Chains A and B, each alone.
Chain A
Amino acid sequence: MKGVRHYPGFLPLTILCLVVLYTPLIVVAVYSFNASTSITSWGGFSLRWYGEVFTGREAARFGQAAWNSITIALMAATTATVIATAAALAMVRGGPFRGRQASFALINLPLMVPEIVIAVATLIFFSTIGLRTGYLTILLAHITFCIPFAYLPIAARLEGIEGTYEQAARDLYATRAQAFRLILLPLMMPGVISGWLLAFIISLDDFIITNFVKGAGMETLPTAIFGSVKQGIKPNIMAISTLMLLVSVLFVTAAYLINRKGRQSP
């Protein structure tokens, strides 16, 4: 059989897709180093917009938004990872139980439901129980939608670990708790770490749900950027976007590498 490369039109189509996907990112990254105030014409290389981000007129606003984003992402990712780990243990190691299929669907449902629907539903829920929108509501919403992202790599890792390791530990006089702490947890750690990294990025990155539940005056980086762009795109936005892109790429790469390393030495 011929490889996919030999299908007619494969190469042009591939190039088209790559161009559409990545040209905007490249343009943003390149123009963040533009010396001129224009966002369309090149005025030479400069780091002035990066300086502007940290010292300029909007620095305080973006600083606060970045602080909110990072603290929320840290807490949401950590909480979601703990919940996802417990869920994965129940699903993968819990044996057959009633409602297993349903549990699996419930854990992963947020991946399928349109985000705008979750955003509206979450907002309605918070106002029904009388919770004022703000930092706390953002955090709660982020924990919720981060769970499936943390769950997937953890469950995949756990499925690859044979049950005989825990049995061997129990056979060698370990209690259930010791077998978990000394054997299973270290073996599933690569999955837990990449689950946490993914959850962190997803939280850091979220706009739609955050925008609904944030309340007035509370900003995260994505909502602050959006607010700023509404008054026209300035080059400092490109600098911020490039920084966020860099963080995302670093985290996703780390998640990938940790997962791959874990798979090589199980």
Chain B
Amino acid sequence: MSFLEFLETRSSDMVELGLEHAAVVGLSVLLATIIGVTLGVATYQRARARGMVLAITGAILTIPSFALFILLLGPLGLGWPPTVVALTLYGLMPVVRNTITGLRGVDPAVLEAAKGMGLNRRQRLLRIELPLAWPVIITGVRVTTLVLLGITAIAAIINGPGYGEFIFTGLARVGTPVAVNLVLAGALGVMILAVLFDILFYTVRKLTTSKGIQ
């Protein structure tokens, strides 16, 4: 069976796994963004806290994904919960780093002017600093998304959702003709999602960034 024929016969699986894959990545990215931006906002003004949060979220990224999924198996069981937790943890670093970079990159003169106009701490953060840091933050979110799309494929070892199922089934049948098709289909699916997410981020970034700083 050629690869194209294989795709045709498994097209409904392709779509279903794709939706799962996108959903679990989308949810994890959302959580990582909320937690990551919060951590960034809480620490960007203090050198010690900043260094610590970057070191910890960076260290998480070095844990092999296989190991982390299996470690979470005990407390969280199989399927979605350990997958989402692991992905969220992996997704923190790019978001935190870019949030801190973005907030620290705001022109001090702009901040001083904002202070001089009488904007309080909260107003300065919400109306000036975060909007100005936003293009940098969303770039971090985009990197996180790409990283998580890849890692999600591994989550199939704990019955996680997504294209990993194709890849691991292929792995189990190495040597048979269908194995190559399964792995190829999984990889292709992830790549298509990456392209789609990229288009999405490009659009969101365009729409949510002020024309004054594009």
Whether A and B are associated in the same complex: the answer reads: no
Chain A interface residues toward B at CB < 8 A: none
Chain B interface residues toward A at CB < 8 A: none
